[in-house]
C-alpha cells in the first residue's frame, strides 16, 4: 500500500511539474478559448473539448523532439564509453596500428601481429616499415599536410603480400593516428592470372592462325600448281585448325567448371568401370606409341561419390599425358587401391609412367594454365597446356587431391585421392 501511495505521489508530482513548466502556454490557451466562447457563441460542449485538448497538449514534454535527440545522444555516449580503442581495433579484421605524433606504435590488433610480427607498443613505425612510400605516408599525415592519405605497399617477407594502406588522424586533439592495411594480394593475383591467361590464350591462337594465313598465301602464289606442296600444306593447315579446336574446347571446359558450384555428393561412381573405360578408349594411342598399359586394381567395390563424366575426363587427361610423354618407358601402370586413412578413408588412383620424368622445380607449377615443362615437346604432342588445369578444377569440385611424384630418368606418378564419403 505504501509503494502504491508513493507511486501515485510520484505521478502526481510529475504531472504538476509538467503543468508548471507549461503554465504560460496553458494560460494563453485558456484565455483564447474563453474569448472564443464569449464572442463566437460556441457551444459549451465545444468549450469543454477545447479545454481538454489544451490540457492534454500541456501534459506533453516541451521540446519533445529535442528531448528525444538529447536522449539518443546520451545513450550513444554511454555505449561508446564502454568501448575502448583496443576493443574497436580487435573488431577490425584487417591489420590496424594506432600510433602517436612521434610515429611510435601505441597499439596493434591481432591481425597486425599475425601479418607483420615483431610489433609492440613503443616501436618506431619508420624503423618497422622502411619502404619509401610508407615513410612518405607517415610524414604527410603527421605534418598535418593532409588529414588522411592512401598508398600501395608490398611486404616482401615471409611471403610477398600487397596492401592498400590508409592513414588518418583519430578524433580531434588526441594526437593519435591510425594505419589500416587492406590486403590486396588475392585480387592482384587474380588480375595477374587473368592477364596471363588472356596473353597466353591469344598467343596460342595467334600462332596457328599465322601459320594458316602463311600457307594460304603460299597456296595462292608459288605453290598454286604444285600438287605435292599443296597436299603437304593442307595437311599442316588441318593439324593447326585441329589444335585451335582443342584449345577452344579446353577453354570452354575450364569456363564451365569455374561457373559450377562445388559438387554435392549424390551419385556413386564405380572407379573400376570408369578407369577401365578410359584405358580402353586410349588403347589405340598406347599402341601407336609402343606402350603397354598394365592394371593393378584392388578387389572389392571401388565406389566414390562424384560425377562420372568429370572423373572420366580426369583419368583420360592423366593417362593420355602418360602415353604421350612417357612413351620411352615402354609401359604405363594404372593402380587403384584403398587409402584407409583414419581421418578420411578413400580410394587412390595412380597413373605411373617410366619415361624421362619431370624436373623437381617444375612440379609446383605444372597445374597452372598454359604452363609447360617443354614447350616444343608439348606442341609436338598436340597439347594445349590446359589439361592439368582442368584436372585440378574437377578434383577441387570433388573435394579430392592430386599429388605428383617424379624423378628425372625414372618417370612420373600422378595420384588422385578421392574420399569415400
Stated as kind and residue range, the H or E segment containing 155 is strand 148-155
Taking residues 1-18, report their average pLDDT: 53
pLDDT value of position 350: 93
38's CB contacts (< 8 A; 6+ apart) are none
By DSSP bridging, strand 161-170 and strand 176-183 are: antiparallel
Residue 372 CA, distance from chain mean position: 27
274's CB contacts (< 8 A; 6+ apart) are 308, 311, 312, 315
Cα–Cα distance between 410 and 329 in angstroms, integer? Answer: 8
Task: Tell me the pLDDT tens digit for each residue of 365-380.
Answer: 888 877 777 655 555 6
Stated as kind and residue range, the H or E segment containing 31 is helix 23-40
Block residue for cell numbers 570433388: 398
Cα–Cα distance between 190 and 194 in angstroms, integer? Answer: 6
pLDDT value of position 343: 65
**Range from 106-115, 185-194, 238-247, 402-411 carrying the lowest mean pLDDT:** 185-194
pLDDT value of position 163: 94
Please report which confidence band the pLDDT of residue 173 belongs to, taking 50, 70 and 90 as the band edges.
confident
pLDDT value of position 262: 57
3-state secondary structure 197-251: HHHHHHHHHHHHHHHHHHHHHHHHCCCCCCHHHHHHHHHHHHHHHHHHHHHHHHH
Q: The whole model's pTM is what?
A: 0.51
Block residue for cell numbers 594404372: 334
Please report which confidence band the pLDDT of residue 245 belongs to, taking 50, 70 and 90 as the band edges.
confident
The larger pLDDT score, comparing residue 260 to residue 241, is at 241
pLDDT value of position 394: 86
Indicate the CATH number of 187-259 among 1.20.1440.230, 1.10.287.130, 1.10.3430.10, 3.40.50.150: 1.10.287.130
Q: What residue ranges do the domains of the chain occupy?
A: 2-81, 85-183, 187-259, 268-419
Look at residues 338, 268, 256 and name the one whose alpha carbon lies nearest to residue 297: 338
pLDDT value of position 301: 85
Whether the predicted pLDDT of 58 surpasses 60: no
Taking residues 191-202, report their average pLDDT: 72
pLDDT value of position 233: 84
What CATH number has the domain spanning 85-183? 3.30.450.20
Block residue for cell numbers 501534459: 59
Please report which confidence band the pLDDT of residue 4 belongs to, taking 50, 70 and 90 as the band edges.
very low
Indicate the CATH number of 268-419 among 3.30.565.10, 3.30.1320.10, 3.40.50.300, 3.40.50.740: 3.30.565.10
pLDDT value of position 1: 45
- Average pLDDT, rounded, for the chain: 78
pLDDT value of position 231: 86
Taking residues 330-359, report their average pLDDT: 85
Whether the predicted pLDDT of 342 surpasses 60: no
Whether the predicted pLDDT of 23 surpasses 60: no
Cα–Cα distance between 220 and 63 in angstroms, integer? Answer: 94
What does DSSP assign to residue 303? Answer: E
Please report which confidence band the pLDDT of residue 329 belongs to, taking 50, 70 and 90 as the band edges.
confident
Please report which confidence band the pLDDT of residue 5 belongs to, taking 50, 70 and 90 as the band edges.
low
**Range from 66-80, 257-271, 295-309, 344-358 carrying the lowest mean pLDDT:** 66-80
Task: Give yes or no for a contact between 383 and 324, defined as CB atoms under 8 angstroms apart.
Answer: yes
Provide the 3-class DSSP secondary structure of residue 104.
strand
pLDDT value of position 318: 92
The larger pLDDT score, comparing residue 48 to residue 323, is at 323
Amino acid at each position: 500500500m505504501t509503494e502504491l501511495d508513493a507511486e501515485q505521489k510520484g505521478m502526481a508530482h510529475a504531472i504538476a511539474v509538467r503543468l508548471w513548466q507549461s503554465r504560460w502556454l496553458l494560460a494563453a490557451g485558456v484565455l483564447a478559448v474563453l474569448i472564443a466562447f464569449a464572442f463566437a457563441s460556441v457551444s459549451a460542449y465545444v468549450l469543454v473539448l477545447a479545454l481538454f485538448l489544451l490540457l492534454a497538449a500541456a501534459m506533453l514534454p516541451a521540446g519533445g523532439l529535442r528531448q528525444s535527440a538529447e536522449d539518443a545522444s546520451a545513450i550513444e555516449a554511454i555505449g561508446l564509453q564502454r568501448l575502448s580503442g583496443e576493443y574497436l581495433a580487435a573488431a577490425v579484421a584487417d591489420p590496424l596500428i594506432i600510433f602517436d605524433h612521434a610515429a611510435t606504435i601505441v597499439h596493434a590488433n591481432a591481425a597486425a601481429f599475425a601479418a607483420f610480427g615483431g610489433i609492440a607498443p613503443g616501436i618506431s613505425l619508420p624503423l618497422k616499415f622502411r619502404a619509401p612510400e610508407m615513410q612518405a605516408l607517415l610524414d604527410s599525415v603527421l605534418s598535418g599536410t593532409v588529414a588522411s592519405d592512401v598508398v600501395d605497399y608490398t611486404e616482401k617477407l615471409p611471403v610477398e603480400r600487397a596492401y592498400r594502406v590508409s592513414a588518418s588522424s583519430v578524433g580531434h586533439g588526441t594526437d593519435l593516428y591510425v594505419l589500416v592495411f587492406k590486403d590486396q594480394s588475392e585480387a592482384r593475383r587474380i588480375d595477374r592470372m587473368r592477364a596471363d591467361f588472356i596473353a597466353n590464350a591469344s598467343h596460342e591462337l595467334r600462332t596457328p592462325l599465322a601459320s594458316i594465313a602463311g600457307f594460304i598465301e603460299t597456296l595462292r602464289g608459288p605453290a598454286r600448281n604444285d600438287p605435292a606442296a599443296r597436299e603437304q600444306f593442307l595437311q599442316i593447315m588441318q593439324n593447326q585448325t585441329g589444335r585451335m579446336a582443342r584449345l577452344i574446347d579446353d577453354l570452354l571446359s575450364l569456363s564451365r567448371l569455374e561457373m559450377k558450384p562445388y559438387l554435392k555428393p549424390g551419385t556413386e561412381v564405380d572407379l573400376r568401370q570408369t578407369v577401365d573405360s578410359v584405358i580402353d578408349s586410349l588403347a589405340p594411342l598406347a599402341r601407336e606409341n609402343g606402350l603397354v598399359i598394365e592394371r593393378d586394381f584392388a578387389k572389392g567395390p571401388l565406389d566414390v561419390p562424384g560425377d562420372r563424366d568429370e572423373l572420366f575426363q580426369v583419368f583420360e587427361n592423366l593417362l593420355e599425358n602418360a602415353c604421350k610423354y612417357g612413351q620411352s618407358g615402354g609401359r604405363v601402370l594404372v593402380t587403384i587401391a584403398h587409402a584407409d586413412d583414419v581421418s578420411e578413408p578413400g580410394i587412390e588412383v595412380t597413373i605411373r609412367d617410366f619415361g624421362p620424368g619431370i624436373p623437381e622445380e617444375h612440379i609446383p607449377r605444372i597445374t597452372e594454365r598454359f604452363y609447360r615443362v617443354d614447350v616444343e615437346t608439348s606442341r609436338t604432342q598436340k597439347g594445349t597446356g590446359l589439361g592439368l588445369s582442368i584436372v585440378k578444377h574437377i578434383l577441387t569440385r570433388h573435394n579430392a587431391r592430386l599429388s605428383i611424384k617424379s624423378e628425372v630418368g625414372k618417370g612420373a606418378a600422378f595420384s588422385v585421392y578421392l574420399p569415400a564419403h
